[in-house]
Structure 1
Amino acid sequence: MDYNQPTKNFQKEVAEQCIRYLSIDGVIFGFHQNQLNVLLLRWKGTNEWCLPGGFIRKTESVDEAAERVMQERTGLNELFLQQFHVFGAVVRYDQDAVWRKINLNVDADSWSERTISIGYYALVEHSKVVPTPDFLTEECRWWPLDEVPGLLFDHNHIIEVATRALRRQLNDQPISHLLPESFTIPELQRLHETILGHPLDARNFYKKMMASGTLERLTERRAGTPHKAPYLYRFTRSESQA
């Protein structure tokens, strides 16, 4: 299949409508079956994967560009986004090698030799996402964080930096966005353990969460468990809307 014309149109649009040397790279986190997942794209005609991203239009702010990029890939209108790093090394990756892998015929006159990327991560409820590729890619799907393949550009490094930022900011971020509306305390604990990468003491975790004032217990219990049905909880309105 010939992708040359769409690629030429894309490069023309970037040259005319976007800030060529400034882009967004997005790490979209979802939590499913006790795994922290990230959303990745596969380039057309290849088995090469990358993060969602895009250039910033001349008529939009950086935050607006990040929101647009994430919305187009997830189908979600309301997203929690956090800017976490600027990637501006002089040489971030081998451009020629990347272009060869994805069969991208780059017009040097419409493409910047150097691009600075602003990294954002998004926290989303896994079940609500509709993974959607763009016109340069043909597959968009979730990958478990510990199974992410070698990615194009410097995107493995970007995921590592985003994960470290999420861990550092865990207590200050509304991780309610990663969970369904109601959940059990063990389910919430497993989410914390997955993000942090180590186990937590169940009794201390329960005391800490209840003392935080961010949870309220519901009258319903989780049915179908092998032991006594645990109570369901939800985040308070102020926490879930943060």
Structure 2
Amino acid sequence: MNTAEEVHDFVNKGHEQYLPHLSIDCVIFGYHERQLKILLIQHHGHEEWMLPGGFIQRHETLTEAAYRILAYKTGISDLFLQQFYTFGDSAARLNRIAIQQIHNKTYAKVGVTLDENHWLAERTLSIGYYALVDYSNVVVRPEFLVDEYAWRDISDIPALQYDHNEIIDKALLTLRAQLYQQPIGSNLLPEKFTLPEVHDLYETILGRRFDRRNFRKKLLALGLIRQLNEQRKIGPHRSPNLYEFDLDNYHRALNEGAALVL
């Protein structure tokens, strides 16, 4: 929504196009300078930050809605996307008065006031999706009601609106578990990378240290990465070998029951 007219139309007629009571919240992970970051937004009139998200159109599947929302927010259409949980038990989602007040702060910019029976003020369940993006490729699209966007390190997430801190915690737990079973690293690193880069990525996500030599042996033994006949020149007498993920072998290893044990 980029204009006041679009906001008014959404508030007044949105329930005709979107499913009431059901939304999608997106935990967008990006990796940059050995930090795992999450994209947050700040709506007009609020000090608290929150996750980007949106409602599901009546003709869409959940996954179609998630891809549409993420493409709109980040400018990326081809990304790793995973549904991980449904949220609806928190007190923040049951307190309709508080929800009404939050929305009224947001929509005050266009002179809209919601009553307690408005479709946006009713209890809404949230489908959580996490996405993995190349940090350098994200181009955040300006929105009329969003004052600011920011990438925040996972160790520096402030208190967020609704239950969004809980959503992030659950997304991070899921990401860490699936890192052993899916080619997640291929979505956060460049197509070609050095061994120290993939080693640092796994350490950053999992929050623990690994022996570099054993880590390399395990990745190569499972066929998850392959060495290229290329090097990256990074200084005098420093030209490390480049590698890439072998996605065919990665999926084959998964189908045969193999998993990365670090």
SS at match of 1:11: helix
Q: CA deviation at 1:110?
A: 2.7
In structure 2, what is the Cα distance between the partners aligned to 1:223 and 1:65?
Answer: 43
Alignment-derived partner of residue 162 in structure 1? 171
SS at match of 2:37: strand
Matched, 1:95 2:99: yes
Alignment-derived partner of residue 119 in structure 2? 110
Q: Is the 8 A contact 2:104 2:114 kept in 1?
A: no
Q: CA deviation at 1:181?
A: 0.8
In structure 2, what is the Cα distance between the partners aligned to 1:241 and 1:71?
Answer: 26
Q: CA-to-partner distance for each residue in 1:173-228, whole Å, 9 max, x for gaps?
A: 22201111111111101110111011111121111111121211112222225774
Alignment-derived partner of residue 150 in structure 1? 159
Alignment-derived partner of residue 15 in structure 1? 15
Q: CA deviation at 1:172?
A: 1.8
Letter in 1 for 2:190: P
Alignment CA distance shift 1:90-1:224 (3 Å): closer
Q: CA deviation at 1:139?
A: 2.3
* Residue segments in structure 1 that go unaligned for 5+ positions in a row: none
Alignment CA distance shift 1:222-1:87 (3 Å): same
Q: CA deviation at 1:88?
A: 1.8
Map 1:181-200 onto structure 2 (within 5 A). 181-200=191-210
Alignment CA distance shift 1:157-1:225 (3 Å): farther
Percent of counterpart pairs with the same letter?
A: 45
Q: Is the 8 A contact 1:14 1:55 kept in 2?
A: no
Alignment-derived partner of residue 119 in structure 1? 128
Alignment-derived partner of residue 135 in structure 1? 144
Q: CA-to-partner distance for each residue in 1:53-98, whole Å, 9 max, x for gaps?
A: 0111111111100111111111012121100000021633442553
Alignment CA distance shift 1:34-1:58 (3 Å): same
When structure 1 is superposed on structure 2, of 224-233 and 127-136 the one drifting more is: 224-233
Alignment CA distance shift 1:89-1:4 (3 Å): farther
Q: CA-to-partner distance for each residue in 1:100-125, whole Å, 9 max, x for gaps?
A: 65465324333252111000000111
Q: Is the 8 A contact 2:223 2:250 kept in 1?
A: no
Q: CA RMSD in A?
A: 2.4
In structure 2, what is the Cα distance between the partners aligned to 1:218 and 1:11?
Answer: 54
Higher Rg of the two aligned structures: 2
SS at match of 2:248: helix
Letter in 2 for 1:20: P
Matched, 1:171 2:180: yes
In structure 2, what is the Cα distance between the partners aligned to 1:240 and 1:127?
Answer: 25
Alignment-derived partner of residue 84 in structure 1? 84
Letter in 2 for 1:73: K
* Residue segments in structure 2 that go unaligned for 5+ positions in a row: 253-262
In structure 2, what is the Cα distance between the partners aligned to 1:115 and 1:146?
Answer: 28
Q: Is the 8 A contact 1:99 1:106 kept in 2?
A: yes
Q: CA deviation at 1:145?
A: 1.4
In structure 1, what is the Cα distance between the partners aligned to 2:99 and 2:81?
Answer: 28
Q: Is the 8 A contact 1:90 1:114 kept in 2?
A: no
Letter in 2 for 1:170: L
In structure 1, what is the Cα distance between the partners aligned to 2:208 and 2:125?
Answer: 33
Task: Give the TM-score, by structure 1 length.
Answer: 0.89
In structure 2, what is the Cα distance between the partners aligned to 1:90 and 1:49?
Answer: 18
SS at match of 1:172: coil
Alignment CA distance shift 1:208-1:136 (3 Å): same
In structure 1, what is the Cα distance between the partners aligned to 2:19 and 2:241?
Answer: 51
SS at match of 1:171: coil
Alignment CA distance shift 1:90-1:46 (3 Å): closer
Alignment CA distance shift 1:90-1:37 (3 Å): closer
